[in-house]
Amino acid sequence: MRNIFIVVFLLSLCLPAEAQYFQMDLMKKRQSNKESTRWTLADWLSQKQRIGLWDHWLSVNRSANWFEMQLSGHQFDYELTSDNGSGKVKIDESSKLYALDLWVTILGLRAEYEERDGHLETRSGMLSLRLVGASLQSTHILLRGGLQVTEDSSSGEEWENPFSAGVLKMYFLSFIGLEGEYRHFFPKKSHLGTQLKGTRIRGGAFIEYGIFQVSGHYWKEPMEFSSSGITTKQEREGYDVGIALLF
């Protein structure tokens, strides 16, 4: 038997380089195929950990109710600061904001209408995605995207600004917590050529009793109107108080 191995070894040394390379390449492919289908204890533990994390996320964020609805109204009192480069003008104004939310599992539709003092009113529609949280009445994080239509009755101008937003609502107890929202309004021109853009920061606290929720928020909303090289900056800053019904 020993002599047979010696003969095979000597014959392999006599093979051409091409044949030896073919044998080596063939063996590498066979080993690679074996390694790709090899099942190990480390693979099983890694897969078990991933499945456990996914199950935990589902248990935390699975909604007990597949449909939810929320109606809300807010009274917003604020100071409006206007600056067109020649000086600042400050006046006190107020507005009323109404909103309707409709949710099916983790997807929601929201409609808003705000009637301001003076000559501006806004209408907004948006799609919401709940990334974390089981319902509107639990700690959650939302991503939003939509369109805000702003009408100026004095000039007849109308802007249709797309926007994106993020919302965080956090419960400290079962009936009290904090919430905040950030919106970014992308630039858009009216049919008269005036461009409107801006942002909104809104944050505050809430208290719940059954289906009722009472809340108060701080607002800061800087906006810019640009036309023919002239930019007018307007900023609303103030507080709102509101009530919501959650179903």
- Residue 178 maps to which CATH number? 2.40.128.100
pLDDT at position 183 is 98
Q: How far apart are CA 94 and CA 55, in angstroms?
A: 47
Q: Is residue 205 part of a domain?
A: yes
Tell me: the pLDDT tens digits for 90-115? 999 999 999 999 999 999 999 999 99
Q: Is residue 14 part of a domain?
A: no
pLDDT at position 8 is 46
Tell me: the pLDDT tens digits for 120-136? 899 999 999 999 888 88
Listed range (8-17, 83-92, 143-152, 230-239) with the worst mean pLDDT: 8-17
Tell me: the pLDDT tens digits for 38-74? 556 666 677 767 765 565 555 555 556 789 999 999 9
Tell me: the pLDDT tens digits for 4-46? 545 444 445 554 554 444 455 555 555 555 555 555 666 667 7
57 is in which domain, residue-wise?
19-61
Q: Is residue 146 part of a domain?
A: yes
> 89 with 147, same domain?
yes
Q: Is residue 12 part of a domain?
A: no
> 56 with 86, same domain?
no
> 107 with 51, same domain?
no
pLDDT at position 87 is 84
Whether 163 has a pLDDT exceeding 60, the answer reads yes
Q: Is residue 50 part of a domain?
A: yes
Which residues does 190 contact at the CB level (< 8 Å), separation at least 6?
A: 157, 158, 159, 196
> 199 with 129, same domain?
yes
> 88 with 206, same domain?
yes
> 93 with 142, same domain?
yes
> 123 with 172, same domain?
yes
DSSP of 46-108: HHHHHHHHHHHHHHHH--S-SEEEEEEEEEEEEEEEEESSS-EEEEEEEEEEEEEEEEETTEE
> 48 with 137, same domain?
no
> 98 with 23, same domain?
no
Q: Is residue 113 part of a domain?
A: yes
In the block, tokens 């289908």 appear at 37
> 78 with 167, same domain?
yes
* Residue 38 or 177, more confident: 177
Task: Quote the mean pLDDT of the chain.
Answer: 84
Whether 158 has a pLDDT exceeding 50, the answer reads yes
Q: Is residue 4 part of a domain?
A: no
Report the number of distinct structural domains present in the chain: 2
pLDDT at position 117 is 86
Query: Residues 126, 108: contact at Cβ < 8 Å?
Result: no
Average pLDDT, integer, range 155-163: 94
* Residue 48 or 153, more confident: 153
Domain end among 61, 82, 114: 61
* Residue 246 or 19, more confident: 246
Q: Is residue 194 part of a domain?
A: yes
Query: Residues 76, 70: contact at Cβ < 8 Å?
Result: no
Domain end among 44, 61, 78: 61
> 171 with 228, same domain?
yes
pLDDT at position 2 is 53
> 52 with 171, same domain?
no
